[in-house]
Structure 1
Amino acid sequence: MTTIDWAPNTASVRKTGFGTAIADIIAMCGRELRRTLRSVDSLVTAFAIPVSIMLVFVVIFGGAIESDGNYVGYVVPGTLVLCLGFGSAATAVAVAQDVTSGTVNRFKTLPVLGSAVLHGHVISSVLRNLAACVPVLGVALLLGYRPRAGFVGWVFALLFVVLMILAFTWLSALAGLFLSVDAAASVNFVFLFLPYVSSGFVPVDTMPAWLRGFAEHQPYTPIIETLRYLLSGTAPGNTLWVALAWLAGILVVGVLGAALAFGRSVKE
């Protein structure tokens, strides 16, 4: 079985065996994980900031929103989704750095799968964000969070989270192929802002009427509600299909857009 590079060498079309392509992707993934471990900023972004967001909402704001202490059960899914989006957005900066520094063009001259660099960014983002979920959930449990999902519920929640990370990361990778490093850093704002205008932290029906329509129909609300249902052991119903439709659409746009943009940027 062979795989054809998204961005073939201008001199010849490179065909790479499936096993070699997998090895290239694993090598690029290891490169990104090592870069994360060597960067204090990346480690803080991946682990400390999500925990800090959890503490801010539960400890500082929680008492004002729900004085009975049950707010932690409501806010954990929203915080997780916000943190996963925030962590995935870091891929935009990493990809922009590779493009602007000429790293992508250097990889083009090597006998490796050119698109492996993007796959490496995406896979390392999945692993990094899954690892970041552990301390967030740990802190939530210490604060009184008690999910009621059974084994099957946790499996579906994990698969849903992985799909979420893939969709957010591919969209971020697409942005990184077009933007400068400084501009790519602003992608974080989108992933940080939209969860606040959703059901992630307060019920939508508590919002002003002029804002409620947007909050109900933007992608974060069904995504957060689905994760909330899964972790609580409740069937998500139609909310699941709406969330899956949003994530599938984002994933398709991210993957196809990145494939086209990556091939064009390398040829140029």
Structure 2
Amino acid sequence: MTLDPIYIALGACVGFIVGLTGVGGGSLMTPALVLLFGIHPATAVGTDLLYAAVTKGVGSLVHGARRNVDLRVVGLLALGSVPTAAITLLSLSQLGPRSGQAAKVITCALGATLLITAVSLVFRRKLMTMRLAEPERSADRSAALTILTGAVIGALVTLSSVGAGAIGVTALLLLYPSSSASRIVGTDIAHAVPLTLVAGAGHWLTGSVDPSMLLSLVTGSVPAIVVASYLAPRLPEVGLRYLLALVLAIAGGKLVVA
């Protein structure tokens, strides 16, 4: 395997944005590979899923060491997401992962998920205000909704590699408003690891992963995330979030109408 400087640069750009905003890995990486580099949607999704498994695996260790992971919630999310990921992978294999039909399904799912992600970034605070005004849910109801949320995210992530970040965090904030933001983020990242690993492994088995591209992307992103993490507290998070939402909405709209 050889390192490609173009993909290293892409990994660095995306990694820098992730380090600044906390979201945008799959939301930016997959559409960039599809729209800018002409990579087949299945290969873009499969490669990005394993890229996410590596980067979020490191992140989950850090959050775990700081006790920012709710293992019960992670288990409930995985109970919904992992089986759904397996079912989605099976459905894609029936279509033929590199067929034109599968490419169309993945492209449409990617576009729709990007639009949902953009909306969740813009209206997250308003949704939280509305949720805090509601009565607290029972533990059983919260558990059922968490499993259902995991199932939806499992399907979206497997099809598009997008959804485990901004959508997952927004959903958890609404389900568990009393939890701290750092615990929500840590729990979401920890859940993304088994989900992206299972989904990425499934794409690998169907030949939808480019190992050289994967290595180049990781090589560029890891140092960029570290640098951006130090700069993030000095930059306006709200402005960055709205800018990211605009970029995702444009990319999502272009993919949907493609």
TM-score bracket, normalised by the shorter chain, equals 0.3 to 0.5
Which structure shows the higher helix fraction? Answer: 2
The structure having more radius of gyration, on CA atoms, is: 1
Query: Looking at both structures, which has the greater relative contact order when contacts are Cα pairs under 8 Å and sequence separation is at least 6?
Result: 2
